[in-house]
Amino acid sequence: MRHKDVWRAIDTLAAENGLSPSGLARKAGLDPTSFNLSKRRTSDGRTRWPSTESLAKILDATGAALEDFSALVTGARTLPERGGRGRTKIPLIGLAQAGSAGFFDDGGYPAGAGWDEVELPATNDPNAYALTIAGDSMEPVYRDGDHVIVSPAEPVRVGDRVVARSADGAIMAKLLTRRTNTKIELTSLNPSYPTLAFPAAEITWLHRIIWASQ
């Protein structure tokens, strides 16, 4: 168990619940600065570890099990899925490549012969597909090279992680933070990236991300 892995797990747990590290601390009834970067080392550079009490409180506040948190510490990119649904082959394409013509039909379903296949957990949606994440805009939850399963059949709500296609053909993985009849806002989990606001008519479809590789 390494210092940086424990703190990365806390950051991922926060992001999995739509929170910043300070928001997670606040939700757990802790001082909002408990998980700030400045609290992770002492003034003379020595490592500072979160207390077992603070870990217990954030697990209780988020409903995560200890084994879920342990999985994050040991390298999992997201909280583990429960209830294993078997495995199947799902069409796969890179996120950067997905914006090219010919990979989706007008309804946003996989089309054409350019898709690869990957064996990932099964889903009840026969039109589900997988994308390979490119870039760091969704860190720490999704990292460059991770696979995500996307389901066109799942209902999409504010707070869901989604794959969106804009009217100009761009494909992006984002967090849906606002959706009205006239406006859609998409946010990166990496705070270095700005929120994107679109007129609703400029987003041709939104599909929910239902699983990510670990």
pLDDT per residue as tens digits for the range 71-86: 888 776 666 555 444 4
pLDDT per residue as tens digits for the range 81-131: 554 444 467 778 787 777 777 777 766 777 666 777 776 666 667 788 888
Establish if 97 belongs to a structural domain: yes
98 and 52: one domain? Answer: no
Contact predicate 214/75, CB 8 Å: yes
Q: Is the pTM of this model over 0.75?
A: no
Q: Which domain holds residue 155?
A: 87-212
99 and 199: one domain? Answer: yes
125 and 182: one domain? Answer: yes
Domain of 8: which CATH number?
A: 1.10.260.40
Establish if 80 belongs to a structural domain: no
One-character DSSP codes across 110-175: B-SS--EEEEEE--S-TT-EEEE--SSTTTTTS-TT-EEEEETTS---TT-EEEEEETTS-EEEEE
Mean pLDDT of 17-33: 88
Write phi, then psi, for 64 (nearest 5 degrees). Answer: -80, 145
